[in-house]
């Protein structure tokens, strides 16, 4: 009898230690996985930086090719470089083009432009492209910047939000198939609030996307702050008391309410892990934002390079 009572006492005294160690082990594994993810994310950022540097070098090489082509285009009898008198007329259109493009953007009323993975209702395969939201409607382009379809604002019949990152747009017809596109993008949460304003009577949030409305009002920083304090409060409650169970009716109420779930040392270690997790999450968020900006720059550089290469190819064909 004495041995059984002492064994039960040892088991009860070791229970908080076991629970604390188990929770600490789980949090440590989570921290390790997040650290591994952060390393992979930073490595991905280095690869994007390398791509940006490669595109910059490619653009400089294309500038050299432009000068060489200009020399070849000069008449053989012309004693001076064709570049001397052609340079002002070449540089001016670039400035004019940038000004015209900025004016065109203002005139067109582009609200936002994002990369997306696109699929049509009648097609099973997907293709990369982009979604452009105008004041007057929506445009879907493929990866070659060719227009696939333009939805005028009054032509859109319904927009369904399947998830925070996936939407479908449909235009109904009588006597012929509907035009429908499904788009997936990591930047879709930035577009959905705009679509909700422009198409308030035509947009529908499906079950998986309903959480978007409930979580969109609070910024990420506030979410991290609230999660941190909720976790800290949970640790405080776990340290101070555990409700009594049915087989402990004979024990004094004060002893039952003061029984800790985890030890003080484990709670301090858990708080340190939570701080590290918070720092890692904020670092990953800032790195993702930086990579999004880098991807936008890479996309613009690729478009410029593609146009320049096409122009050089046409000039080379004229020379041959």
Q: Which residue has the higher pLDDT, 64 or 214?
A: 64
* DSSP H or E stretch at residue 185: none
Q: Rounded distance, CA 189 to CA 165, Å?
A: 6
Contact criterion met (CB below 8 Å) for 239 and 259? no
**What are the tens digits of pLDDT across the range 14-72?**
455 577 778 888 888 888 888 888 888 888 888 988 998 999 899 889 989 888 888 88
Strand duo 166-171 + 158-163: pairing: antiparallel
Q: What is the pLDDT of residue 89?
A: 43
Beta bridge partners of 116: 129
Q: Rounded distance, CA 114 to CA 197, Å?
A: 18
Whether the predicted pLDDT of 234 surpasses 60: no
Whether the predicted pLDDT of 125 surpasses 60: yes
Mean pLDDT on 118-140: 84
**Residue 31: CB atoms within 10 Å:** 16
Nearest 5 degrees, angle CA 202-CA 208-CA 209? 45
Q: What is the pLDDT of residue 171?
A: 92
Give the closest residue to 239 by CA, choosing from 257, 223, 218, 260: 260
Q: Rounded distance, CA 148 to CA 289, Å?
A: 29
Q: Rounded distance, CA 239 to CA 242, Å?
A: 8
Whether the predicted pLDDT of 261 surpasses 70: no
Q: What is the separation, in whole angstroms, between the first and last Cα of the chain?
A: 105
CA 217 to chain centre: 18
pLDDT grade for 120, boundaries at 50, 70 and 90: confident
Q: What is the pLDDT of residue 75?
A: 67
Whether the predicted pLDDT of 215 surpasses 70: no
**What are the tens digits of pLDDT across the range 76-86?**
655 554 444 44
Q: Which residue has the higher pLDDT, 91 or 112?
A: 112
**What are the tens digits of pLDDT across the range 282-314?**
888 888 888 888 888 898 888 888 898 998 898
Percent of the chain whose pLDDT exceeds 90? 14
Q: What is the mean pLDDT of the chain?
A: 74
Give helix then strand counts, H and E, for the chain: 7, 8
Q: Rounded distance, CA 192 to CA 209, Å?
A: 11
170 phi/psi in degrees, rounded to 5: -135, 140
Q: Which residue has the higher pLDDT, 164 or 105?
A: 164
């Amino acid at each position: 009898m004495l041995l059984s009572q002492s064994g039960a006492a040892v088991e009860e005294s070791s229970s908080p230690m076991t629970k604390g160690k188990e929770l600490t082990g789980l949090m440590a594994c989570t921290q390790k996985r997040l650290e591994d993810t952060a390393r992979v994310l930073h490595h991905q950022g280095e690869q994007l930086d390398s791509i940006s540097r490669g595109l910059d070098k490619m653009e400089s090489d294309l500038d050299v090719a432009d000068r060489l082509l200009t020399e070849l285009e000069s008449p053989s009898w012309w004693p001076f470089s064709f570049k001397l008198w052609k340079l002002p007329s070449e540089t001016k259109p670039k400035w004019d083009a940038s000004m015209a493009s900025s004016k065109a953007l203002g005139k067109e009323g582009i609200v936002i432009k994002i990369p997306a993975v696109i699929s049509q209702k009648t097609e099973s395969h997907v293709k990369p492209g982009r979604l452009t939201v105008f004041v007057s409607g929506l445009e879907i382009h493929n990866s070659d910047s060719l227009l696939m379809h333009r939805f005028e604002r009054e032509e859109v019949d319904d927009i369904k939000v399947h998830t925070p990152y996936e939407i479908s747009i449909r235009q109904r017809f009588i006597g012929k198939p509907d035009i429908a596109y499904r788009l997936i993008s990591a930047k879709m949460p930035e577009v959905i609030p705009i679509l909700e304003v422009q198409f308030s009577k035509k947009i529908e949030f499906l079950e998986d996307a309903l959480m978007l409305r409930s979580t969109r009002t609070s910024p990420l920083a506030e979410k991290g702050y609230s999660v941190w304090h909720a976790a800290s409060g949970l640790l405080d409650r776990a340290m101070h008391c555990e409700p009594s169970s049915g087989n402990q009716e004979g024990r004094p109420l004060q002893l039952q309410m003061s029984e800790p779930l985890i030890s003080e040392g484990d709670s301090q270690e858990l708080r340190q892990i939570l701080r590290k997790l918070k720092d890692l999450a904020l670092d990953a968020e800032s790195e993702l934002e930086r990579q999004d900006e880098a991807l936008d720059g890479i996309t613009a550089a690729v478009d410029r390079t593609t146009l320049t290469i096409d122009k050089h190819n046409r000039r080379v064909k004229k020379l041959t």
